[in-house]
Structure 1
Amino acid sequence: MIPVQGYSGATVAVLGLGRSGLSAARALREGGAEVIAWDDNEAARDNAQAEGFAIADLSKQGALDGAAVLIVSPGIPHLYPQPNKVVRAAWEAGVPVDNDISLFFRSFATSEWDNFERIPKIIAVTGSNGKSTTSALIHHILEHAQRPTQLAGNIGRGVLDMDPAIDGEVVVLELSSYQTDLARALTPDVAVFTNLSPDHLDRHHGMGGYFAAKRRLFSEGGPDRCIIGVDEDEGQYLANQMAGGATDDRVIRVSSGRKLTGDGWNVFAKKGFLAEWRKGKQMASIDLRAVPGLPGAHNHQNACAAYAACRSVGLAPRVIEAAFHSFAGLPHRSQLVGEKDGVKFVNDSKATNVDSAAKALQAFTNIRWICGGLEKEGGLGGLLPHLGGVTKAYVIGREAANFAMQLGDLPHEVCTDMATAVARAAADAVKGDTVLLAPAAASFDQYDNFERRGEDFIAQVETLTKA
């Protein structure tokens, strides 16, 4: 645990008692704060009360009197689509609103660091797609290189549940827009921006607000090194804003699919090869085509970002390359889960939006595509140009018929449930085909989360391949 500094003897209010909220409450108490907490869910309140936390309805008049700060869990809206009533009450009472990410950045460094030979570093990763894989890959490379490292944030443990840093450690954080948007303190040593595509637009009041939440990690974080994907205009803009000139190597530009030129520090993947160029000279080249845990152009972009981040903390290209080959990938992200009679079954349940599904579809050929679920804002229009490798779609979800209507002339079958979709796709498939789950939709119409959806796919595939 990371004890929270700066609030010893003070009263701190915590709103939301899920994983991050309860973790924050514990770390605050460990640092000497008096915690009052609230969650609209009775079971969550009971769990916190069982741990000895004082429970009070923070929306009541005067509940925030004397509070030094209100800590808000990331899932609770603090501005759009409308502020939570407790957040509004904090505004009116003049109580600062903050989150656990900020508490971490304020508390991570301690006086013990004065005795370290190498000061610990923080690599923070944000973006729309690929940030989980990029974060996990950076962590894996560091482990391979025998560097002390921890992985936390939106993946793995909560930030305040980590162990205090040791000499030379590198902490890798995956940070969502919900987490960066509110944090008052953001001070990573290395910040990574993977890419940007429409997502969570209601929460951020449109693409501008969504990008602004991501940009805060850089503009307010002031990292020593910025790793920025420049395949979208927003990334180009951000790189331009953070660099002092064309040769400023505090910014490493990253791309998948095109060669980056110029005298700066560039890492890009083209035709399956990663290349690092610095000051007009090529420094390294890695063949990514034979790396089983990183299939497709989208994973090659993740590899470039992870490579650049690890180069920023002093790792050699050949060390990074060796680590690539032992990376198994993450569950539910282009995960090979079975093979039978020359047909591969790939689980990309994490492809919950059009952009991530498009990237998954571009990674394979001869695709039997399982798709559908709770459709996100904007429809499937952006996906239609990427269906050239799809032989047939098998649509699941409560509104499968409506989803299927947007697929145009693509051959499709309305299956509704996962078991039917897997069975029908497997029956139609021939040697060389890939049965790919890449839903391009949220899972909440049929499952609690995308993990449960992916687990159902895996279970159906296991039943089929063992038969």
Structure 2
Amino acid sequence: MQISALEGQRVAIWGFGREGQAALDSIRKQLPKLPLTLFCSEAEAVGARARLDDRLDIRTAVDEAELTRFDIVIKSPGISPYAAPAVGAALHGTRFIGGSALWFAEHAAKAARGQVICVTGTKGKSTVSALIAHLLRAAGKRTALAGNIGLPLLSLLDATPEPAYWVIELSSYQTGEALNPDVAVVLNLFPEHLDWHGSEERYYADKLALVTQANPRALVLNAGDARLRAVATAAGACIWFDNAAGWHLHADKVFRGERQVLDLRGLPLPGRHNGLNLCAALATIEALGLDAVALAAHAASFVPLPHRLQRLGVRDGIEYINDSISTTPHASVAALDCFAGRRMAIIVGGFDRGLDWSVFVERIRAKPPLLVITQGQNGPRIHDRIEPMARAGRLTLLAAEDLTAAVAKAQHVLGNEGLLLLSPGAPSFPRYTDYTERGRHFAKLAGFDSNAIGAIAGLGVA
């Protein structure tokens, strides 16, 4: 649906974070007189009222009856359409869309438009999106980097001149809104966001909508993921990574088929999972018809994203690693593997979404670190799974009330030597607004400038 199609409709915006603000700005540019209702929190309402928009009705409470008054509700991505009050209003005919849907419709209507690369996956999508944009810019291509990575698509709707490429990160909340991308990239699938999707099966279906519903021209998929192998024939030509014929890893080397292209050592991409992220990015460059082998060396100048295995530095003999983006047990396992053999403490736990922590427990059993500290809502559940190993003397296991206490306990056990890894494997709320606030708090507790670690390089058009 294009923005012009909202004319004459009863329209509301639900949520007034970055996405809601971008939606309002975009609608006002095209339809300055369209009456709109905004459903938002009390805190968000302060900023909304400051806009002095006399055609914006601001409400700080929402229910099913209110939502059914509207033909179209443009909702923020974090609001689930599968839960009350949205699900009830939808049964009465209210249509829920996101800002991404408006952008894709507007983009499709352009006479001259850049190619669109959509990237999703349970883990790694931000890094891969940023890597693709970095490599395209290294090739001299004007490239936009936006989406779930931290910049709403609608905020770049009027970008002039039109970028040659749009690199768009999509969460599972947004994949169903993609329309005719030139390349769809799916990295991996693990259970996540089950509270939003309602079930593991629906999460996979929503994530794979980028393949099954978006009508991509070409696919870039991970050959190491069984679910992705099963859906590979659903749409378009497919380029695989993590297989011997394409871009893959062997030890610390990146190969294209039998040709060695890069040595991962010395690159700002720690861990095997980041090596695979680079393989995915290079396969995408190849899918666009560019010389990925020639561009691969530019990975050396990539600026890593914050809160993703981010080395903060050393204080009093302890090295601090901020992996606050880690919201699944698989991510915590990947983080442990990056620092295998080190004298290490890891802090895990957060909001409990009911995920199975067996993969983490098995990794601890195989290669126990010096110390595991559990915290957060699911901390006791993780603690109970690891406790038999601690009783057997294989590692030290401690419980902490919060992150402040966890850091203090880790510092006490490590003394003046070792590595402290924050890789929670769980969401940050309700104690923090998001993973970035959690990461900044960790940096502050470790003695670093919390305001100096949060910027994502390369967002926008360049």
Q: Same fold (TM over 0.5)?
A: yes
Distance 1:62 1:370 in 2: 43
- After superposition, the Cα gap between the structure-2 partners of 1:437 and 1:48, relative to the gap in structure 1 and judged at 3 Å, is same
Given that 1:373 and 1:398 are in contact with CA atoms closer than 8 Å, whether structure 2 keeps it comes out as: yes
Q: Deviations over 1:67-96 (max 9, x none)?
A: 6533222122212xx2424x533542x443
Shift of 1:314: 3.6
Cα drift, residue 109 of structure 1? 4.6
Letter paired with 1:331: P
CA distance in 2, matches of 1:318, 1:348: 30
Cα distance in 1 for partners of 2:306, 2:65 equals 46
1:348 pairs with 2:323: yes
Give the counterpart letter for 1:191 in structure 2: A
**Matches for 1:161-240 after TM superposition, within 5 Å:** 161-162=155-156, 163-164=158-159, 166-167=161-162, 169-181=164-176, 183=177, 186-240=179-233
Structure 1 match to 2:392: none
After superposition, give the CA deviation of every residue in 1:329-360 in whole Å (9 maximum; x if it has no partner): 11110111113576532110111211111111
1:420–1:54 Cα change, 3 Å: closer
SS of the aligned residue for 1:286 comes to: strand
CA RMSD of aligned residues (A): 2.9
Structure 2 residue 367 is matched with structure 1 residue 414: no
* 1:311 and 1:317 in contact (8 A); partners too: yes
The residue number in structure 1 matching 2:353 is: 376
* Unmatched segments (≥5 aa) in structure 2: 390-394, 450-462
- Counterpart contact for 1:123–1:191, Cα < 8 Å: yes
What does residue 13 of structure 2 align with?
A: 14
Letter matched to residue 150 of structure 1: A
The normalised TM-score by structure 2 is 0.84
Query: Would the aligned equivalents of 1:404 and 1:412 in 2 still touch at CA under 8 Å?
Result: yes
Query: d(CA) in 2 for partners of 1:457 and 1:327?
Result: 24
Distance 2:427 2:435 in 1: 7
**Contact 1:138 1:307 (8 Å CA) reproduced:** yes
Question: Contact (CA 8 Å) 1:369, 1:438: kept in 2 or not?
Answer: yes
Determine the structure 2 residue equivalent to 1:441: 426
Cα distance, 1:153 vs. partner?
0.9
Q: Distance in 2 between matches of 1:154 and 1:111?
A: 23
Equivalent position SS for 2:299: helix
Unaligned stretches of 5+ residues in structure 1: 114-118, 244-249
Distance 1:5 1:325, change over 3 A: farther
The whole-number CA distance in structure 2 between the counterparts of 1:421 and 1:237 is 42
Matched position secondary structure for 1:446 = coil
Is 1:287 the counterpart of 2:263? The answer is yes
User: Structure 2: how far apart are the matches of 1:321 and 1:431?
Assistant: 39
Structure 1 residues 16 and 461, CA gap change in structure 2 (3 angstroms): closer
Query: Counterpart amino acid of 1:360?
Result: A
> Map of 1:41-440 to 2, 5 A cutoff?
41-51=41-51, 52=53, 53-55=55-57, 69-79=72-82, 82-85=83-86, 88-92=88-92, 94-109=93-108, 111=110, 113=112, 119-162=113-156, 163-164=158-159, 166-167=161-162, 169-181=164-176, 183=177, 186-242=179-235, 250-255=237-242, 259-261=243-245, 266-277=246-257, 282=258, 285-291=261-267, 293-339=268-314, 343-365=318-340, 366=342, 367-387=344-364, 388-397=367-376, 400-408=379-387, 409=389, 410-429=395-414, 433-440=418-425
Select between 405-414 and 49-58 the one with higher mean Cα deviation.
49-58
Per-residue displacement from partner, 1:203-252 (whole Å, max 9, x unpaired)? Answer: 22322211111111122211122111232221111223336xxxxxx211
**Pairs aligned (count):** 433
CA contact (8 A) 2:351 2:429 kept: yes
